[in-house]
Structure 1
Amino acid sequence: MLAPRYWPSWLAVALMCLFAFVPHAVRHWLAKGLTPVVKPFCKKPIRIARVNLKACFPQMSEAETVRIIDNMIYSFVSVGMGMGILAFRSRKVLEKRIQIQGLEHIEAARAAGKPIVFLVPHLWGIEYAGARLSSWGLPMMGMVKHHRNPVFNWFSCRQRCRFGGTVYHRDAGLRTLVQGLRRGESFFYLPDQDHGAAKSIFADFFATSKATLPVIGRLANCGGAEVLPLTVGIDQRRGQMTVEVFEALDLTQICCKEEEAALLNQQLERLIACHPEQYMWFLKVLKTRPEGEARWY
């Protein structure tokens, strides 16, 4: 990884390390200034975000749509500049900047000897939430897709493993997750990913419908885990983050995959609604459409 072709990558890592020690106020105004510069290069993500927002919120005004998209780009720049915090700053810094609400739900699960499956959408602060829970003392595991660039792959794994987290390749499959749960490790499950029509079930999602993979009940049952919804919000000006954990879901009343998909989408709506401007609307979460319906992207 010290070959000359990787020197630009190491320079990028060095910059992230530098930004990790820069006051948030400086990063905030830099991100504000860079947002209009970066925006012209984000035509495809913006187009996808517009499709998603129009489908989910057909009554949303153009001004509100633009505000959310601008906020999305700002968050991308700001969070990107701050990723070095997870890789290089101390546990004490994380504890100061990231607050956890709803710890009683985590403690109740641990007192019962159960690991946790956190139900969380793709929010910009998700990596910070995982690091904070690990630093608090909760054994966490994560699934990653390796970067082609080994330097960035090292950096990504470092920031996830510093405080005791375990990283598995995304291709390891559900069996690896279940085994981790049985060892007492907890993890984030992101139900907004589109896994195609073969195993997914369509359920209401805001003003449209979304194909959802109903596996949370099987995961929780096989791993003896509790399912806790989680969201994370970022105070842009102060740089403070709040991880909010909600009470455990009761999955005992779910009798079919259709009901499970409906429950997952309802929870997604609830969690995204907490911080709609900080959701990754550029993802193709509505890629799979019901039979006969045209593709949107």
Structure 2
Amino acid sequence: MKIVFALLWLLRLLPMWLIGALAWLLGSLAYALARERRRVGLINLRLCFPDMSLAERKLLIRRNFQHMIRLALEYGVCWWSSAERIRKLVTVKNLHYVTDLRAKGEDVILFYPHFVAFEMGAYRMNQDIPLVSVYSHQKNRELDAQIYKGRQRYDNCYIVSRQESLRSIIKAMRQDHAPFLYLPDQDFGPRDSLFVKFFDTDAATIPGLSRIAKLAKAHVVPVIARRVGNRFELEYYPPWENYPTDDVEADTRRMNAFLEERIREIPDQYFWLHKRFKTRPAGQPRFY
């Protein structure tokens, strides 16, 4: 792991276009070699975009591999490049949707889905506002320590373990009204999940966005991180009105519907290599 960290530290010295060129090469190689991940991505696209041809799906997943490798190579920039460099790399749009609420003493949950620019976007975001983040410990101790240290680099992030209760999250949010950075758009298994449509397929979805918003009396502000060429864009969207409601399932479907719209805008930048439909309703066949 020390060799990996050393390589990432050196890579951060390169211009972003050169990191991108290296990611294009390594991503193309990974697409050819990582047969199982490639299969997962193609199944996900078939379920979400049934009208897309096989050739189009293969091209999109190849680009997705390149984006994912680039995400990995950019960790050195996130961890060790100057804050000024990250500020220059990331264009921020509509931050006022959050700062206006915080100025009024309101709490905020940032719905932040898994797009390939999410890591760089989070480091840029944390320069502007404090954040509450849920953290899952990694099996490798060195990697775990580095990720944890990286998330604390601005001394402006309240980290809560995934094993802690909702009360711990809400308590952390109320320190300086720090927004809760929430990424609930993956399959975390059947426990505490609802089966809600994601595109046209039932997907095990954590309804925490609705439940935490209700418990914390917090506003939900979606945020999307995009890669734009060799730069990034972090866009905040207006706070959702009439959210949450008394219908948790409808609230969760609203979350997925918003995400679908953003995916259609940049389909090659979503986390397609994750087994999003791994958990199935009783009696339904497995996809993977």
Q: TM-score range by the shorter chain?
A: over 0.9
The answer (yes or no) to whether the contact 2:213–2:244 under 8 Å persists in 1 is: no
Distance 1:252 1:283 in 2: 28
Q: For the structure 1 residues 80 and 198, does the alpha-carbon distance in structure 2 shift closer, same or farther, using more than 3 Å as the test?
A: closer
Q: For the structure 1 residues 47 and 213, does the alpha-carbon distance in structure 2 shift closer, same or farther, using more than 3 Å as the test?
A: same
Once the two structures are superposed, residues 245-293 of structure 1 have per-residue CA deviations (whole angstroms, 9 ceiling, x without a partner) of 1001124472312212221211221232232111011111112223321
Q: For the structure 1 residues 259 and 141, does the alpha-carbon distance in structure 2 shift closer, same or farther, using more than 3 Å as the test?
A: same
The answer (yes or no) to whether the contact 1:160–1:166 under 8 Å persists in 2 is: no
| Secondary structure in 2 matching 1:171 | coil
Distance 1:293 1:150 in 2: 38
From 198, 211, 214, give the equivalent of 2:207.
214
Distance 2:131 2:152 in 1: 9
Distance 2:199 2:193 in 1: 18
The answer (yes or no) to whether the contact 1:141–1:168 under 8 Å persists in 2 is: yes
Distance 1:197 1:35 in 2: 32
- CA shift, 1:35, in A, is 2.1
Distance 2:221 2:244 in 1: 16
Partner of 1:18: 10
Give matches, 1:53-92, under 5 Å: 53-92=45-84
Letter in 1 for 2:256: N
Distance 1:88 1:198 in 2: 37
Partner of 2:196: 203
Once the two structures are superposed, residues 152-207 of structure 1 have per-residue CA deviations (whole angstroms, 9 ceiling, x without a partner) of 11221122111122323222232221111122222222232223345332222213
- Tell me, which stretches of 5 or more residues in structure 1 are unaligned? 1-8
| TM-score of the superposed pair, with normalisation by structure 1 | 0.90
Distance 1:248 1:261 in 2: 16
Distance 1:173 1:73 in 2: 35
Distance 2:117 2:285 in 1: 33
Partner of 1:179: 171
Q: Which runs of 4+ in 1 moved over 6 A?
A: none
Letter in 2 for 1:259: A
Once the two structures are superposed, residues 10-51 of structure 1 have per-residue CA deviations (whole angstroms, 9 ceiling, x without a partner) of 221111111111111211111122223222332121111111
Letter in 2 for 1:97: L
Q: For the structure 1 residues 34 and 198, does the alpha-carbon distance in structure 2 shift closer, same or farther, using more than 3 Å as the test?
A: closer
Aligned residues: 286
Distance 1:160 1:79 in 2: 16
